[in-house]
Structure formats: C-alpha cells, structure tokens
C-alpha cells in the first residue's frame, strides 16, 4: 500500500476530470475531421509538450534502464491504440457512452493488479469497484433501454480501450518502480506512440484534412490528455493499481457534469443523480483501502 494513499486518490481524480474534458474536446474536433487525424494530432501534441519540458525533469541516466523499456512497451499500445479506439468510439457512440463503457477498466485493472503486481482485493474495494462500474452502466441508460443507433460491435471500441489502458497502467507502474519519473513515462510512451501513428499514417498514404477549428480542438485535447497522464502516472507511482484505476474510472461523472454545465450536451436527469450516487460512494470506498 502507498504511504500517501489520499494523495494518489487526488491525483487520480484530477486525471479523471482531465480525461472527461479530453473526451469533449475530441468530440468537438471530430465535427470537422476524422478520428485517425485526431489521434495523430492528439498524440503528437502530448509528445511535443513533454519534449519541450524535458530540460526540467529529464536525466541522462533514465534512458539505459528497464523502466524505459517498459514505458516504450506501453507506448506501443497506449496512447496510440487506446486513443484510436477511444476517439473512434466517441465518433460512433458519443463522449458520454464512451466514458460509461470504458468504466469497465477497474475489472481489468484489478485483474492486472492481482496477477502482475501481487496486490490484494478486499471486500470493501470490490464493492467500490462494482459501484463505479454500475455507475458507468447507468450513465449510458436511456428511457427505452440502451438507445442504440450504432452497430453492436462498436461496444468493443470502448471496452478494448479500457483493457488496453488498464494493461498500460500496470506496466507503467512496474516501470515507475525502476524510473520514478511520471513525466519521463509520459515522454517515452507518447514518443513511441507518435512514431507508430505517423508510420501508419504514411503507409496508408493519408493526408491531413479537416478544418482549422478541428485541429485546434485536437491540439487542446492533446494537451489535456498529456497532463491527465501526468496525474495518472503520479497516482500510480505512489498508490496501488487496484485503488487508482477505479478512481480514474470516475470519468463518466465528470463527463456528464461537463456536458450539463459547460458543453450543454446533457440534461439534468435521474441518470445523472443515480450515476453520481453510485460512483462517488464507490470511489470513496476504494479510496479508504
């Protein structure tokens, strides 16, 4: 267990809020471009941002370490693969439903925590995780059930993103035990992801297309996503995976509240009340671990 569990929870909550904000920014960008271009700009913005900040945290000794290898492995799947899945999911399902279904991440997070990190899952934490997931399900419910104007296979997009992110969290935590720098972890993973995304873009012979406004939204979403990963890595560095992942999965609450008060895409409803009533106590139970 972390010596500073409450600090880890605060970092994870900050990350969840920024993930929610990123979802809305990406959705705005998709109104004038497509998900592949959005993913490339998103990842590239994060990589450039952390390279510009490198003089303030980068140490030469970081490179020849096992931690760097693990961060690079994470970069192969996250944020490159997870970002593509998430952005495509936002395009097909919308930001709120995407956030709701990616709330399945605590299940995968608990599995990785137990199998890879040797962490334990007590009853209280298990109930908290179940409450967070239930909140995510409620967030996607409509009066006629799960209103579906999208193909059933699209569910695999956010669930796949959740699996990839949870696996990435576990490997990142292992890497941070060797190189205790949350910023360096973001730098390496985003740089590797950018290289992969750029190569794929060139192989497909694609070209950048979209409006200047959409590019601006993708850049902003890239910045918020990069800072969100910073908070997430700081939480992983000082907290347990089985605690951090469920708290980060409180993203649907922030997505709904931002959609209601800032982006005006949500209406106050029983779903919002029920989601908050489930997720907030669930996060509190997990935080009390």
**Which whole number is the average pLDDT over 42-67?**
95
Does the pLDDT value for residue 245 go beyond 80?
Answer: yes
Report the C-alpha gap between 12 and 151 in whole angstroms: 32
pLDDT, tens only, 66-100: 999 999 999 988 766 776 787 788 778 777 677 66
> Phi first, then psi: what are they for 3, rounded to 5°?
-70, -25
Does the pLDDT value for residue 1 go beyond 50?
Answer: no
Query: DSSP H helical segments within the chain, as ranges?
Result: 5-29, 35-52, 66-77, 80-93, 95-101, 105-117, 123-139, 156-176, 182-203, 212-238, 241-248, 251-261, 270-287
**Which whole number is the average pLDDT over 247-254?**
82
pLDDT, tens only, 6-24: 899 999 999 999 989 998 9
Most confident segment among 117-131, 133-147, 174-188, 255-269: 174-188
Most confident segment among 59-68, 75-84, 108-117, 252-261: 59-68
For the chain, what is the mean pLDDT?
A: 85
The confidence score (pLDDT) of residue 2 equals 46
The confidence score (pLDDT) of residue 121 equals 86
pLDDT, tens only, 125-140: 899 888 888 877 776 6
Q: Is 70 exposed, middle or buried (0-12, 13-18, 19+ CB in 10 A)?
A: buried
pTM (2 d.p.):
0.84
């Amino acid at each position: 267990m972390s010596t500073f569990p409450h600090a880890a929870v605060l970092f994870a909550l900050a990350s969840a809020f920024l993930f929610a904000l990123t979802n809305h920014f990406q959705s705005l960008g998709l109104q004038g471009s497509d998900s592949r271009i959005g993913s490339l700009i998103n990842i590239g913005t994060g990589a450039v941002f952390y390279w510009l900040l490198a003089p303030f945290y980068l140490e030469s000794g970081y490179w020849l370490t096992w931690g760097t290898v693990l961060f690079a492995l994470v970069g192969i799947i996250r944020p490159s693969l997870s970002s593509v899945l998430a952005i495509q999911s936002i395009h097909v399902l919308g930001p709120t439903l995407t956030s709701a279904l990616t709330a399945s991440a605590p299940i995968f997070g608990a599995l990785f925590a137990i199998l890879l990190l040797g962490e334990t899952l007590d009853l209280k934490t298990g109930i908290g995780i179940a409450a967070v997931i239930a909140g995510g399900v409620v967030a996607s419910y409509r009066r006629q059930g799960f209103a579906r104007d999208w193909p059933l296979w699209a569910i695999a997009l956010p669930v796949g993103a959740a699996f990839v992110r949870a696996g990435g969290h576990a490997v990142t935590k292992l890497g941070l035990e060797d190189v205790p720098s949350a910023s360096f972890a973001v730098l390496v993973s985003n740089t590797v992801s950018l290289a992969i995304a750029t190569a794929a873009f060139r192989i497909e012979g694609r070209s950048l297309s979209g409006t200047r406004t959409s590019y601006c939204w993708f850049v902003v979403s890239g910045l918020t996503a990069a800072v969100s990963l910073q908070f997430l890595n700081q939480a992983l560095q000082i907290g347990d995976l089985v605690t951090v992942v469920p708290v980060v999965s409180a993203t649907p609450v922030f997505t709904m509240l931002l959609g209601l008060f800032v982006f005006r895409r949500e209406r106050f409803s029983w779903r919002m009340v029920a989601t908050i009533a489930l997720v907030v106590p669930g996060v509190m139970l997990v935080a009390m671990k």
